[in-house]
């Protein structure tokens, strides 16, 4: 296979790797995981810390990956996270290292992770009301989340980005309050349209809060002007708030898909490459690595996996089928 990049047949090159470190979580956000949890992956099926570091190393040193984001499930539940971050930070060329987390436990871990080499953090925050948090995530943990966010900022992570999913009749009236909160603390807020990735398969297109609705509710309180900075491959469309420099982002994954600019490749906690969140096929690197394959062979398998990437997610296509694994197991 020619070249040392993760290229697909539609001209896109993946440079942004999302690594899921666990399928487990300490919350149960309704758009992601059922209240009773899921059958977790058995430990022998999970990549070890050493295997994660090796596969990320292949992606960075042989396949042109320049950004590595750790996610899950809840990545802070992985005891080896600081050691993994540290090892990835020693790769040459050094990738940007970021984390997507619900922030529970970040109070203790933020300084440790910064010391290990973490560059950036995205925290999921869907509400500022304790009762709603409990309804939405099935756990009473808003305070811990807010402490975690503060700790990230105090540890020097800048900017702290917040991700919000709005759900109709649950927290869809809270967009302005969340933006006020973000502006007051200098966090960067992005709203993400809810995608059909919940374990229960309950997502309905006509129930989803759209990017247009989110913008409308923000415009009732804020003056929003499209951000002149080019969007590039970043999925968020950004808007300057009240003349800037503060910004707010809206990721219209469903109604304004950005598949044509997608630069992502994904590795699940059990070592499967996914070329798209919505892919129905996976490519096993774990057993290949465990069978004694060298780095070059692993790199070639990864390249082959990306070649089959579809041009778009096709959510609006009548033949669309939700992937077999939910978001928590794929890695959001």
Partner in contact with 33, chosen from ligand SF4, ligand SAM, none, beta carbon below 5 to 8 Å by kind: ligand SF4
Cα distances (Å, whole numbers) of residue 41 to 35, 123, 180:
17, 24, 39
CB of 25 to ligand SAM, least distance (A): 6
Q: Which of 15, 46, 72, 270 binds ligand SAM (CB under 6 A)?
A: 72
Q: Is 20 in the site for ligand SF4 (CB under 6 A)?
A: no
Q: Which of 195, 262, 273, 306 binds ligand SAM (CB under 6 A)?
A: 195
CB of 102 to ligand SAM, least distance (A): 4
Q: How many residues bind ligand SAM (CB under 6 A)?
A: 20
Q: Is 148 in the site for ligand SAM (CB under 6 A)?
A: no
Q: Is 328 in the site for ligand SAM (CB under 6 A)?
A: yes
Binding to ligand SAM, residues 163-192 (CB under 6 A): 163, 165, 192
Q: Which of 17, 19, 33, 151 binds ligand SF4 (CB under 6 A)?
A: 33
Partner in contact with 188, chosen from ligand SAM, ligand SF4, none, beta carbon below 5 to 8 Å by kind: none
Query: What b/e sequence results for 280-317 when a residue is b if at least 16 CB atoms lie within 10 Å of its CB, and e otherwise?
Result: eebbebbebbeeeeeeeebbbbbbebbeebbebbebee
CB of 114 to ligand SAM, least distance (A): 18
Partner in contact with 195, chosen from ligand SAM, ligand SF4, none, beta carbon below 5 to 8 Å by kind: ligand SAM
User: Does residue 248 have a cis peptide bond before it, meaning omega lies within 30 degrees of 0?
Assistant: no
Binding to ligand SAM, residues 23-62 (CB under 6 A): 25, 31-32
Q: Is 195 in the site for ligand SF4 (CB under 6 A)?
A: no
Q: Is 208 in the site for ligand SAM (CB under 6 A)?
A: no
Q: Is 189 in the site for ligand SF4 (CB under 6 A)?
A: no
User: Does residue 119 have a cis peptide bond before it, meaning omega lies within 30 degrees of 0?
Assistant: no
Residues that bind ligand SAM (CB under 6 A): 25, 31-32, 71-72, 74, 100-102, 124, 163, 165, 192, 194-195, 197-198, 327-328, 332
- Residues lying near ligand SF4 in the complex (CB under 6 A) are found at 25, 27-29, 32-33, 72-74, 102, 124, 328
């Amino acid at each position: 296979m020619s070249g040392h990049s993760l290229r697909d047949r539609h001209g896109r090159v993946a440079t942004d790797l999302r690594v899921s470190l666990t399928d487990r979580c300490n919350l149960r956000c309704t758009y992601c995981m059922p209240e009773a949890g899921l059958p977790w992956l058995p430990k022998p099926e999970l990549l070890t810390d050493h295997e994660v570091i090796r596969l990320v190393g292949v992606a960075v040193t042989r396949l042109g990956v320049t950004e590595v984001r750790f996610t899950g499930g809840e990545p802070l539940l992985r005891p080896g996270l600081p050691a993994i971050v540290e090892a990835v930070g020693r790769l040459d060329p050094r990738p940007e290292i970021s984390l997507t987390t619900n922030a529970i436990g970040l109070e203790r871990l933020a300084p440790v992770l910064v010391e290990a080499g973490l560059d950036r953090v995205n925290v999921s925050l869907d509400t500022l009301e304790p009762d709603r948090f409990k309804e939405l995530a099935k756990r009473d943990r808003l305070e811990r989340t807010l402490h975690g966010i503060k700790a990230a900022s105090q540890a020097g992570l800048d900017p702290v980005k917040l991700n919000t999913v709005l759900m109709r009749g649950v927290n869809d009236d809270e967009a302005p309050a969340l933006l006020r909160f973000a502006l007051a603390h200098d966090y960067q807020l992005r709203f993400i349209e809810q995608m059909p990735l919940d374990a229960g398969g309950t997502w309905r297109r006509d129930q989803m809060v759209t990017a247009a609705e989110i913008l409308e509710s923000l415009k009732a309180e804020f003056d929003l002007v499209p951000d002149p900075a080019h969007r590039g491959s970043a999925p968020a469309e950004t808007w300057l708030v009240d003349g800037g420099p503060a910004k707010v982002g809206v990721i219209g994954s469903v109604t304004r898909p950005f598949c044509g600019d997608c630069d992502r490749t994904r590795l699940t906690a059990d070592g499967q490459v996914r070329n798209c969140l919505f892919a129905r096929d996976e490519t096993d690197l774990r057993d290949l690595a465990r069978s004694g394959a060298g780095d070059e062979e692993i790199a070639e398998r990864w390249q082959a996996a990306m070649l089959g990437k579809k041009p778009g997610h096709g959510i609006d296509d009548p033949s669309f089928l939700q992937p077999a694994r939910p978001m928590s197991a794929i890695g959001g």
